[in-house]
Structure 1
Amino acid sequence: MMKRSAVILPQGDFLCGIVEGYYGRTWSHQDRLDYAQFLPQLGLNSFLYCPKSDPYLRKQWFAHWPLAQWQQLLELSAKYREQGLLFGLGLSPFELYRHYGAKERQQLKDKVQRIQELHPSLLALLFDDMPGAVVDLAERQAEIIADVQAWAPELRLLMCPTYYSTDPVLEKHFGPMPAEYWSRLGTLLAEQVEVFWTGPKVCSESISCADLVVIQAAFGRPVTLWDNYPVNDGAVRSDKLYLEPLSQRSPKINQHLAGHFCNPMNQAQLSLPALRGLAELYSNQLPQDLEAQLLGEELWRQLAQDRHAFQYGGLSGLGELRRQELSSRYARFTGPAAAELVSWLQGEYTFDPACLTD
């Protein structure tokens, strides 16, 4: 059994943890249960469930989960509460802002009431990765969020704008951002609603206080960082494993934030080393051997030797013979982290564009 680390959870209202918001191959139910044990060891306090592959959060948001999946969600919520952690869901009512009439409003109310049965602490309304060239986009999204706030006043609400970064790639894929979209949202949303932001890029290499001062002024409130590290679900990023701790974030950014979530890799267990950087950003004193505690000492010793090649060279940089050699080497280890690594080396996590057309 893994021993617990003497770490300090973030204090007050500051959210700090995982937003499971990737595309493609999803975590297992056991992975999510395991994170209820991992987060306290890392000194993190929050888990937001919103994988893009769950159709009942996105394209089929108005439908209820099948019984087996619903029972898993009930178990997850109970497990996180038992550990003193904040658990929530991210609901992506796909393009609901295009037509939000009486029927759709009732469907949303029914869904929110269903989610309330899970007794979550957090609920996020996510409008990311949807067409956004709608003149009254801010008004329609704010109306939806106001309704949810009225129906579920006990929940801490977050929202992800359609344009969640200054990265021009968003307008390339989702159309031009409506004029004054950010400032209109900031004016229309209730003060308590927290707004997600990924930084200057969708996957930001660095984030400074100056970056956050600018966007805080645009929204009229501190943002909550949706940090797309170590996520590796894209065509380029799925070629790599991001095993280095989160870095290049100013140690003073918490002065401009309401919270900080990291979006993990499709490999749940192998995401743990990256989260050391998130924890240490907020002054949590982690033991030097924490990765060995979480992943196993022998496996971590081997990974420490190979992780630079996995992160910076990637699968494409290894070559077929080297991949086969490493696959055989890591197959000798037991446990879920080793299994994830072998699957990655064998190409089982390679990006599939079909995952974007759910």
Structure 2
Amino acid sequence: MTMPLRERQYYFRDYYDQGEELVLEGRQLRCKLSSKFSLIQKYEGPLAADGPIAIVEQLEQGETLEQGNATLELEYEGTLKADGYQLNISKDGKITIAASNKRGLKYGMDALHQLLSVDDGKCRLPVATIHDEPSFSIRGIIEGFYGTPWSFDDRMDAVRYMAAHRMNAFIYAPKDDPYHRELWCEPYPENIFAQIRELKQECDTHLVDFYYCISPGNDLKFRSEADFASLEAKMAAMISIGVRHFALLMDDIDYTLSGENLHYLERSGLAHAYVANRVYTYLSGQLQEVTLAMCPTEYWSYWDTEYKRDIREKMHKGIKIFWTGYSVFAPKIGSKHAQENYSYYGHDLWLWDNIPVNDADYDRLFLDPVRGRYSRLGQTGHHAVVANPMVQWECSKITLNTMAHYMWNSERYMPELSWELSVREFAGELAEDMMFFCSQNLNSQLYNGGYEELKEALQSKDVQRLDLYFDRLESTSSRLLQWGNHKFKEEAGPWLQRALADVKLWRAVRRKVTGTFEPGVNEELREQAEACQAFKVRLGSDPAWKAAEAWGFAVREGKDGYRLTLES
């Protein structure tokens, strides 16, 4: 299927196309390769033998394995940002990809795949030029939530997903992995370490940087050489399998110093700078190039503090700083707070964006796009944006795709368009149903809009409109429960079943509204209400309970609950 022009103009930073088309015979784009990127005359990225693009290798005698129908030239262009690329498709069948690193070459080849369509035994490409560079040098996912960590299979799939969506960093920091936090000073059991090694290898295969994080802040003794030896041993094990990127996480701890720690370092800011500097010195002695980021205990806020001053003045300038915005779940990250916090910390900032994480709302799914992020955040000292997903990895993909769009080109990011493209990619033919389901599950931590169709129908107490709404909720949920994406059904199944329970509750409310004296109507309403309450999950739109509330049959109690108010 041809990528529509509107999507090309949005997805690629600078896209130039005068409407001409390159048409080549054959059901496969067979490229004769010429590389000026290096003396290695081959494309090192993954290409399926039966895929739409094949590289025709050169034999020793100068012959080709098969006849090519296009030429592909790879070039080094040092003026491009890391991961950026230029792709030029000429009318004479010459294709050129220029980049400053291998990841840029990969993204250029990915762009070629996206532009290529094959039909009627012909390959079709727009005659076009693309200049594409990222807004942030580091773009990725941080597995940093509380709750059940992802499975090994989820992590492997996450790496492949990132690689396909121009993200380049997998940051391993599951809060409830005991060897990351509680047992930070103990080595990993061999079976878990073997999985981390395999995960690192998968990252290497897909040109994704693997970051190992450790969180020793709860009980590290700053004068204990034994504690620092344990910390170094943990990092040495990671270095032995090729890890070069690390993060020291001091978030979510009681950072008030006491006892010997207080006597030795006086203030928590001095203490955390001291620990980070020791880690940085150790890593710098072990590796030619090292990346170290630190998540401070004051990872949110928008004002200056003594703690930030100590970090600013005492911590090595090569260490990066995580922050989440002006709150843990920041509805808006604007230019003022971004610029001021950059000056307060005095280090390169990495945005740890708590989207679409649901560890503060385990009963909810968050399926809408990222909103409220400054379009020129990369010009305020921010070099990275990493998203903290939900426990439900498959469901996280919808929001993460929109995050990937923002990370790559924040200046042009359009939330609703990205949401549309993300849902279509995720659900295919069921995109319309999926979008309706997503629109029932907006991120209440970040966005209070939405549910307008439901809100208007309830305000006017329009029973017919509500019937149509709940009929659609029923048919949508039923179709999604029959969908072939088994991982999605496993994760979202409880919410889809809850939606069907809401439909039954509405119909009980409707019978009460339209036939007050009908025998047994109150009992049925209580029965359906109890069925909804038995679920441990809920839709963000709370449609049936809001309907019951609109007619005075229920009242809201607290953040998440409702109570029936029927007369006995």
TM-score with structure 2 setting the length: 0.54
How many Å apart are 1:167 and its aligned residue? 7.7
The answer to whether the 8 A contact 1:327-1:342 is kept is: no
Q: Which secondary structure state, in structure 2, belongs to the residue aligned with residue 309 of structure 1? A: coil
Q: Which secondary structure state, in structure 2, belongs to the residue aligned with residue 159 of structure 1? A: strand
Which amino acid counterpart does residue 280 of structure 1 have in structure 2? H
1:246 matched residue in structure 2: 370
Question: Of 283, 290, 301, which residue of structure 1 is paired with 2:409?
Answer: 283
Higher fraction of helix: 1
1:268 matched residue in structure 2: 393
The answer to whether 1:41 aligns with 2:164 is yes
Please give the alpha-carbon distance, in whole angstroms, between the structure 2 residues aligned to 1:60 and 1:156.
23
Superposed CA offset, 1:7-56 (max 9, x none)? 89865982111111000122111111112211122211111011111000
The answer to whether 1:297 aligns with 2:428 is yes
1:334 matched residue in structure 2: 484
1:255 matched residue in structure 2: 379
> What does 1:35-184 align with in structure 2 at a 5 Å threshold?
35-134=158-257, 135-153=266-284, 154=287, 155-166=290-301, 180-184=306-310
Q: Which secondary structure state, in structure 1, belongs to the residue aligned with residue 321 of structure 2? A: strand
Please give the alpha-carbon distance, in whole angstroms, between the structure 2 residues aligned to 1:192 and 1:11.
22
Inter-CA distance 12–96: structure 2 relative to 1 (3 Å threshold): farther
Please give the alpha-carbon distance, in whole angstroms, between the structure 2 residues aligned to 1:72 and 1:86.
16
The answer to whether the 8 A contact 1:230-1:263 is kept is: yes
Please give the alpha-carbon distance, in whole angstroms, between the structure 2 residues aligned to 1:47 and 1:125.
15
Determine what percentage of the aligned residue pairs are the same residue.
25
Please give the alpha-carbon distance, in whole angstroms, between the structure 2 residues aligned to 1:92 and 1:196.
14
How many Å apart are 1:187 and its aligned residue? 1.4
1:226 matched residue in structure 2: 352
The answer to whether 1:197 aligns with 2:332 is no
Structure 1 unmatched ranges of 5 or more: 169-176, 351-358
Q: Which secondary structure state, in structure 2, belongs to the residue aligned with residue 254 of structure 1? A: helix
The answer to whether the 8 A contact 2:355-2:388 is kept is: yes
2:94 matched residue in structure 1: none
2:122 matched residue in structure 1: none
Please give the alpha-carbon distance, in whole angstroms, between the structure 2 residues aligned to 1:40 and 1:287.
19
Please give the alpha-carbon distance, in whole angstroms, between the structure 2 residues aligned to 1:117 and 1:197.
29
> What does 1:6-21 align with in structure 2 at a 5 Å threshold?
6=111, 11=134, 14-21=137-144
Which amino acid counterpart does residue 162 of structure 1 have in structure 2? T
Which amino acid counterpart does residue 71 of structure 1 have in structure 2? A
Please give the alpha-carbon distance, in whole angstroms, between the structure 2 residues aligned to 1:59 and 1:265.
21
How many Å apart are 1:121 and its aligned residue? 3.4
Higher relative contact order (CA closer than 8 Å, sequence separation 6+): 1
The answer to whether the 8 A contact 1:10-1:43 is kept is: no
Higher fraction of strand: 2
Inter-CA distance 126–312: structure 2 relative to 1 (3 Å threshold): closer
Which amino acid counterpart does residue 435 of structure 2 have in structure 1? A
The answer to whether the 8 A contact 2:356-2:443 is kept is: no
Superposed CA offset, 1:264-305 (max 9, x none)? 111111111212332222328989755444x34145442211
Structure 2 unmatched ranges of 5 or more: 1-47, 53-108, 115-130, 258-265, 413-417, 446-450, 455-469, 498-534, 539-568
Please give the alpha-carbon distance, in whole angstroms, between the structure 2 residues aligned to 1:325 and 1:112.
52
2:335 matched residue in structure 1: 209
How many Å apart are 1:312 and its aligned residue? 5.8
Please give the alpha-carbon distance, in whole angstroms, between the structure 2 residues aligned to 1:149 and 1:132.
21
Please give the alpha-carbon distance, in whole angstroms, between the structure 2 residues aligned to 1:250 and 1:324.
38
Worse-superposed segment, 133-142 or 249-258: 133-142
Inter-CA distance 183–110: structure 2 relative to 1 (3 Å threshold): same
Q: Which secondary structure state, in structure 2, belongs to the residue aligned with residue 162 of structure 1? A: coil
2:125 matched residue in structure 1: none
What is the aligned length? 334
How many Å apart are 1:150 and its aligned residue? 2.1
Q: Which secondary structure state, in structure 2, belongs to the residue aligned with residue 55 of structure 1? A: coil
Please give the alpha-carbon distance, in whole angstroms, between the structure 2 residues aligned to 1:130 and 1:9.
41
Superposed CA offset, 1:319-339 (max 9, x none)? xx9999876543312331222
Which amino acid counterpart does residue 55 of structure 1 have in structure 2? P
Superposed CA offset, 1:167-213 (max 9, x none)? 89xxxxxxxx9x61011111111111000000001010110111111
How many Å apart are 1:115 and its aligned residue? 1.9
The answer to whether the 8 A contact 1:208-1:250 is kept is: yes
Please give the alpha-carbon distance, in whole angstroms, between the structure 1 residues aligned to 2:369 and 2:207.
25
The answer to whether the 8 A contact 1:39-1:45 is kept is: yes
2:81 matched residue in structure 1: none
Q: Which secondary structure state, in structure 2, belongs to the residue aligned with residue 35 of structure 1? A: helix
TM-score with structure 1 setting the length: 0.83
